Amino acid sequence: MNPNINSNISIIGVAMDLGAGTPGVALGPSALRYAGLTKRLEDIGYDIEDTGDIMAEKNMPPYQSIGKLKFLEQVVKVNTDLCNKVSEVMEKGRFPLILGGDHSIAIGTIAGILQYKNNPGIIWFDAHADINTEETSPTGNIHGMPVAVSLGFGHEKLISIGGDDKKINPEKIVYIGCRDVDAGEKRFLKELGITVFTMHEVDKYGMTEIIERAIKIAGTDTDGIHVSFDLDSLDPLYVMGTGTRVPGGLSYRESNFALEMIAQSGKLISAEFVEVNPLIDHKNRTAKYAVALIGSLLGEWLI
């Protein structure tokens, strides 16, 4: 186990798929547990506390929206609860490991971190930029908006989670693996000067240089690095069980190597893994891959 990573981990499940366009990721936390997550982390040497799942409200109409935003009230409620739970875990000196759920839960994760860390760096593994707002989103699905919200852009009910004054610094965000970015997102990323390593850069420079640069950006003059890992950052050849698959993504080995390098930096303070959908998976393969990736991020070495 990497001695620079907190030895006490609190698992926080978020059983919600209302931010996504494809149902099923609400079962993601259970799939990850079933794939042996707790035992794997205990075998590395961690003390594990499983806090259970934060649940979205049930018995609701099949479709709700406020303006263009789908299921806004429910997404706000879940992320507010998550913000409080992450803050509580970090206040106890434990490492929060959040299991999604769709990627809209990053709103609550980051808001919770900001209650305890003033200036976290963010490394965001994703096929998508997730920096849409209600005005730019082609779908109204809030899982395409968490970065925008965490920067302070978007619906007031979303950006108020955790406090209007607690937002991340665009200069300390790094994307890795992007290959499907909406037109409005492209303009926004350029305006804010956010670092984006698309698959083009990964192929051109190689993962070693990409991660070294990412750690330098997100880990210099910050309070540490939060990793937000969407399983669709991997190529669909490896992961069937995720809802917004885009060809040409990261390989399984590249992803493990990238996360191992982040672990070795000693700067990791929190992590979330999202968009595991067992309803469209085969024999829980995506969850098994996710558990292996979590092990790589948390210092599981072969020797």
pLDDT computed for residue 58 by the predictor: 63
Alpha helix stretches (DSSP H) within 67-152? 72-91, 106-114, 146-151
Tokens 């959040």 -> residue:
98
Among residues 102, 103, 185, 272, which one is catalytic? 103
pLDDT computed for residue 36 by the predictor: 98
Among residues 53, 81, 128, 226, which one is catalytic? 128
Determine whether 126 is an active site residue: yes
Determine whether 81 is an active site residue: no
DSSP state of 227: E
pLDDT computed for residue 67 by the predictor: 73
Judged against a pLDDT cut of 90, whether residue 68 lies above it is answered with: no
pLDDT computed for residue 56 by the predictor: 86
Asked if residue 76 lies in contact with residue 154, where contact means CB atoms within 8 angstroms, the answer is no
pLDDT computed for residue 5 by the predictor: 80
Determine whether 103 is an active site residue: yes
Q: Rounded mean pLDDT of the chain?
A: 95
Among residues 102, 143, 281, 300, which one is catalytic? 143
pLDDT computed for residue 57 by the predictor: 76
Among residues 232, 254, 260, 272, which one is catalytic? 232
Determine whether 226 is an active site residue: no
Determine whether 53 is an active site residue: no
Judged against a pLDDT cut of 90, whether residue 303 lies above it is answered with: no
Determine whether 191 is an active site residue: no
Query: What DSSP letter does each residue of 247-287 carry, written as one string?
Result: SS-B-HHHHHHHHHHHHHHT-EEEEEEE---GGGSSTTHHH
Domain layout of the chain by residue ranges: 8-297
Q: Distance (Å, rounded) from C-alpha 110 to C-alpha 16?
A: 17
Which strands make up the sheet holding 195-198, listed edge to edge? 47-55, 8-15, 95-100, 268-274, 225-230, 121-125, 173-178, 195-198
Which tokens hold the place of 293? 């990736």
Among residues 17, 102, 185, 230, which one is catalytic? 230
Q: pTM for the whole thing?
A: 0.96
Pick the CATH number of 8-297 from 1.10.10.10, 3.40.800.10, 3.40.640.10, 3.20.20.60: 3.40.800.10
Phi first, then psi: give them for residue 229, nearest 5 degrees. Answer: -120, 110
If we measure between CA atoms, which residue out of 19, 41, 16 comes closest to residue 27? 16
